Structure 1
Amino acid sequence: MSELVIEKVTKSFADKKVLEDISFTVKEGEFVSLLGPSGSGKSTLFHLIGGMYSPDSGAFYLDGKKINGKRGAISYTPQSSSLFPWRTILDNVVLGAELFAKPNYDQAREMLEKAGLSGYENAYPHQLSGGMRQRVAFVRSLLSPQSFICLDEPFSSLDEFTRLEMQRWLLSIWEENRKSVLFVTHNIEEAIYLSDRIIVLSSNPATTKREFTIPFARPRKEELLLSEEFLQWKKAVYQELR
């Protein structure tokens, strides 16, 4: 497991400042969600963590090591599943491991079975539904050697019922592995239901506006979504986003 420390990160593109003095920590085995208005720089922050480009100032530390501009330090799941259409499902899920070492196909088959995808190992991405492809993408992240995962709105394109099913599935799989997760979403209910903590970003330029520590015990049940306490938390987060 890994701890990520984001320390006073600022980033501009041309003359537009996107992130300003962003600071927070994701502890070992913690599930943290980022909430903020559209265009507030959440995806930009992920690209910086992943080393696609470097911050103008500030730093990222993973287990105490500075990772500014370093690729391959974290596992990243984008909004679309980004599966290779010419590779089978089994070959897609071992891709991250394949880049670093010899993949463990037995472990991959076991994870696909836990994901409800047994029998689809030799299928191709176009033969699966959107929800199934997102499961494949998350299994790929879990099988990658990195112990820190960034999830960028992985359920945004799914209908409400499929989305809830995917949230339940994600929590059940994550409970077994407890990799550190930083999760971007626009959905307040999703953030509360999944997370240990929620970081609220302001609009342009994005700053760390507020942090909420979610008190609900794990494992979490679906009935939690209809409780009065859950509604009170939803109101509090909504007011902060406004």
Structure 2
Amino acid sequence: MSELIAESITKSFADKQILQNVSFTVKEGEFVALLGPSGSGKSTIFHLIGGMSRPDEGTFSLDGKDITGQRGMISYTPQNPSLFPWRTIIQNVVLGAEIQKKPDYQTAQEMLEKAGLKGYENAYPYQLSGGMQQRVAFVRALLSPQDFICLDEPFSALDEFTRLEMQQWLLNIWQENKKSILFVTHNIEEALYLADRLLILSNNPATIKYDFSLPFVRPRDENLFLTEEFLQWKRKIYQALQENNHIPS
């Protein structure tokens, strides 16, 4: 498990400042959701953590080691599953470990079975539905040697029923592995349902506007959506996304 610390991250593109003094921590085994307006810099934060570009100012550290600008230190799952069409499902899920020359096909087989994909090991991505492809992408992230996972709106393209099914599946698998996760979403209910903490970004230049610790116990199921406490938090987060001046009561 890994602890990520982002400290005073600032980033501009051309003449536009995207991030300003962004600081936050994701503790070992913690599930943190990141919410913010469209274009506020959520995906930019992921690109910076993953070393695809460097911040203008600030640092990222993982377990006390400076990883600013370094690639290969985290596992990243984008909105699109990004599976290689010429590789079978099991070949796709061991890819991250294969790069490190440590593929474990037995564990991969077991993880695919837990993901409800038994019998699809030798299929190709085009033969799977969108939800099944997302499961493959997440299994690949879990089997990668990195203990920190960034998930960039992985369920945004799914229908509501499949999305809820995938959320529950994700929680069940994460509960067993407890890797640290930073999860970007536009969906308030999804953030509340999945996360231990919820970070809210302001408009550009973005900074961390609020850092909410959520009170919902684990394990969680769909009944949580119907509780009064959940609805109160949904209103609270909605208000926090709408204004900049005060924390809603």
Give me the whole-angstrom Cα distance separating, in 2, the residues matched to 1:132 and 1:14: 39
CA drift of 1:200 comes to 0.2
Q: 1:41 maps to which residue?
A: 41
Residue in structure 1 matched with residue 149 of structure 2 by the alignment? 149
Q: Secondary structure in 1 aligned to 2:193?
A: helix
Output aligned runs, 1:12-51, within 5 Å: 12-51=12-51
Equivalent residue number for residue 73 of structure 1: 73
Report the TM-score, using the length of structure 2 for normalisation. Answer: 0.97
Question: Aligned residue for 2:179?
Answer: 179
Structure 2 Cα separation of the partners of residues 172 and 29 of structure 1 = 14
- Report what 1:3 is aligned to: 3
Q: State the distance in 2 between where 1:228 and 1:160 align.
A: 22
Deviates more, 1:97-106 or 1:169-178: 97-106
Q: Deviations over 1:150-179 (max 9, x none)?
A: 000000000111000000000000000000
Map of 2:235 onto structure 1: 235
The answer for the alignment partner of 1:97 in structure 2 is 97
- Structure 2 distance, partners of 1:38, 1:129, is 27
Distance in 2 separating the partners of 1:167 and 1:221: 10
Paired position in structure 1 for 2:246? none
Q: Per-residue displacement from partner, 1:15-72 (whole Å, max 9, x unpaired)? A: 1100000000000000000000000000000000000010000000000011111000
Amino acid at match of 2:224: L
Partner of 2:247: none
User: For structure 2, which runs of at least 5 residues remain unmatched after alignment?
Assistant: 243-249
Q: 1:62 is matched with which residue?
A: 62
For residue 210 of structure 1, what is the aligned residue in structure 2?
Answer: 210
Q: Distance in 2 between matches of 1:98 and 1:205?
A: 39
State the AA in 2 paired with 1:229. Answer: E
Q: Distance in 2 between matches of 1:11 and 1:138?
A: 28
Trace 1:86-125 onto structure 2 (pairs within 5 A). Answer: 86-125=86-125
How many Å separate the matches in 2 of 1:16 and 1:102? 42
Give the match for residue 196 of structure 1: 196
Q: Which amino acid aligns with 2:9?
A: V
> How big is the shift at 1:207?
0.7
- For 1:211, what is the secondary structure of its paired residue? strand
Q: TM-score, normalised by structure 1?
A: 1.00
> Any unmatched runs of 5+ in structure 1?
none
Residue 245 of structure 2 corresponds to which residue in structure 1? none
How many residue pairs were aligned?
242
Deviation beyond 6 Å, 4+ runs, structure 1? none
Q: What SS does structure 2 have at the residue aligned with 1:32?
A: strand
Deviation at 1:221, TM superposition (A): 1.5
Q: How much does 1:122 deviate?
A: 0.3
2-structure distance, mates of 1:65, 1:164: 36
Identity %: 74
Instruction: State the SS of the aligned residue for 2:28.
Output: coil
The aligned amino acid for 2:4 is L
Aligned-residue offset at 1:102: 2.5
Corresponding letter in the other structure for 2:187: N
User: CA–CA distance in 2 between the matches of 1:239 and 1:101?
Assistant: 48
Structure 2 counterpart of 1:155, one-letter code = F
| Deviation, structure 1 residue 101 | 2.1
Secondary structure of 1:224's counterpart equals helix
Matches within 5 A, 1:129-168: 129-168=129-168
